[in-house]
Amino acid sequence: MEPVPLPVVGAPAPERADAARNRRRILEAAERLFDERGVGNVTMAEVAAAAGVGKATIFRRFGDKATLLDELLGERERELQQALLSGPPPLGPGAPPRERLLAFFHALSAYCERHRHVLLASETARPGARYATGSYVAWQQHVAILLAQLRPDADAPLLADLLLAPFAAELLAHLRDGRGIPVDRLDAALAALAGGVADGGPDAASPPAAGPASG
């Protein structure tokens, strides 16, 4: 059975052509500067200058840097969501659930690597920020649907949360920047984790049996 399609989270409202063009230029400039210098070292005025728009335009459109961060990530997250909904298999519909699960983990790993500095700033901005986003809910539901097909015996929603835990930006920053783990090694480990859960036996997700009562 094919997973139920999930709606694309946070799609922007229609805009005038000039407003949409300015928004795109601002987001592209912000992404470039954040990648080059780090989120904390870039001002809104610098983003406006790099985008070729006035400071009033960027503040009117986004308000502050936190909102700009959210919109930048939202734009990139929607691209991945769209690939899940209507892209070619195995990431998109049409492939067996195990292939889709591994393809999603590979795509999410690439996404987190590409945007890890922005994700770190966003996820640490306030307690629980990572789990309050619509995109996290969408990823969790997608993984849970695939796991339910692969492992009808298992607690698919909980396993989905646990499988997504290694994608937390703080952990990825520690592994990549603190320990110097190469991205291909990390990607392979994440795929092994997902594949191991997908292939687990009927008792793999069950609690251990209670030992004999002491007399």
Whether residue 211 is predicted with pLDDT greater than 70 in this model: the reply is no
Least confident range from 116-130, 151-165, 166-180: namely 116-130
Whether residues 98 and 180 fall in one domain: yes
DSSP sequence for 117-169: HHHHHHHTSSTTHHHHSHHHHHHHHHHHHHHHHH-TTS-HHHHHHHHHGGG-H
Whether residues 154 and 110 fall in one domain: yes
Whether residues 33 and 87 fall in one domain: no
State both tokens at 87.
């892209």
Question: Which residues lie closer than 8 Å to 126 by C-beta, 6 or more apart?
Answer: none
Whether residues 42 and 109 fall in one domain: no
Q: Are 25 and 51 in contact (CB under 8 A)?
A: yes
Whether residue 209 is predicted with pLDDT greater than 60 in this model: the reply is no
Whether residues 142 and 110 fall in one domain: yes
Q: 11 lies in a domain?
A: no
Question: Which residues lie closer than 8 Å to 144 by C-beta, 6 or more apart?
Answer: 156, 157, 159, 160
Encode pLDDT of 20-40 as tens digits.
899 999 999 999 999 899 899
Q: 207 lies in a domain?
A: no
For position 114, which CATH number holds?
Answer: 1.10.357
Encode pLDDT of 99-153 as tens digits.
999 999 999 999 999 998 899 998 998 899 899 888 999 999 999 999 999 999 9
State how far the Cα of 117 lies from the Cα of 113, in Å rounded to an integer: 8
User: Residue 205 — very low, low, confident or very high, per pLDDT cuts 50/70/90?
Assistant: very low
54 conformational bin, left if phi > 0, alpha if psi -120 to 50, beta if neither: beta
Whether residues 59 and 103 fall in one domain: no
pTM: 0.80
Q: 3 lies in a domain?
A: no
Encode pLDDT of 47-100 as tens digits.
999 999 999 999 999 999 989 998 999 888 999 999 999 999 999 999 999 999
For the chain, the 3-state helix, strand and coil shares in percent, each to the nearest 5, are: 70, 0, 30
Domain that includes residue 138, residue range: 72-198
